[in-house]
Amino acid sequence: MYAGPPPIPSVAPIQYYLNLVTSEYRIATKMLTWLQVNLQLYEDMLNCLVEMVAALDIDQAQGECLDQLGLIIGANRTVGFQPSNSVSPTLDDTTYRLLLKATIAKNHWHGTLPELLVIWANLFPGGTIVFDDLQTMAVDIEVAGAFTSIIQDLILQGYINPRPEGVLYTITLAELPMFGPDRDDAYVAGADLGHVIA
């Protein structure tokens, strides 16, 4: 049974392997120099791989690294519409990262409403989404959360929520807080405070 790759030494690989040289060869300076030069290639490669993993981590990636992730995931940094408030259609890193995560969620979605609620909660912790399935291949959706104008535009333009093929979504941004029982926060509140969904 394959147990996986061997653990990476806790000390620098060069020093780790030089320490394995037996005592009779520790005075052979030419051999030690040759070994160190070859081990340097291994250490450089290992460092490159470690940096690559961090650079392409969706939560840490920036700039061109996010663009490379976008090519893999299938989401362009430049959206196909002119956002409101004269915001550039080329997304900043924070907004683009959210779009990439939403696209990943879309690609893995199995088409169920409970799963859609989980996706929304992961993208917008504390935000709220309400569905009204009209049973006519149309769904009314009301969403609430602390959204920037570009995030609002992405939601309204269908870039965030996964949608089954052939189903019409009508998305409305709720006036906060929305009306709801047994909750009192910035997103949902009870009578006299919460706004009723139209």
Burial of 170 (0-12, 13-18, 19+ CB in 10 A): exposed
At 192 the pLDDT is: 67
Closest CA to 174 of 155, 150, 157: 155
Judged by DSSP in three states, 10 sits in coil
Distance CA 128, CA 144 (A): 5
Can you say whether residue 169 is alpha, beta or left, with left for phi > 0 and alpha for psi between -120 and 50 degrees? beta
At 15 the pLDDT is: 84
Distance CA 154, CA 134 (A): 23
* pLDDT category of residue 48 using cuts at 50, 70 and 90: confident
* pLDDT category of residue 190 using cuts at 50, 70 and 90: confident
Residue 165 has pLDDT above 90, yes or no: no
Q: Which residue has the tokens 């997103």?
A: 187
The Cβ-side half-sphere exposure at 119, using a 13 Å CA radius, reads: 23
Cα 147 to Cα 12, 28, 44, 150, 196: the distances in Å are 46, 66, 43, 8, 19
Q: Please give the share of the chain, as a percent, with pLDDT higher than 70.
A: 84
- The structural domains of the chain, with segments of one domain joined by +, span 13-55, 63-189
- Bridge pairing between strands 138-144 and 128-133: antiparallel
* pLDDT category of residue 186 using cuts at 50, 70 and 90: low
* pLDDT category of residue 147 using cuts at 50, 70 and 90: confident
At 2 the pLDDT is: 47
pLDDT in tens, 81-97: 999 999 999 999 999 99
* pLDDT category of residue 160 using cuts at 50, 70 and 90: very high
pLDDT in tens, 19-40: 888 888 888 999 999 999 988 9
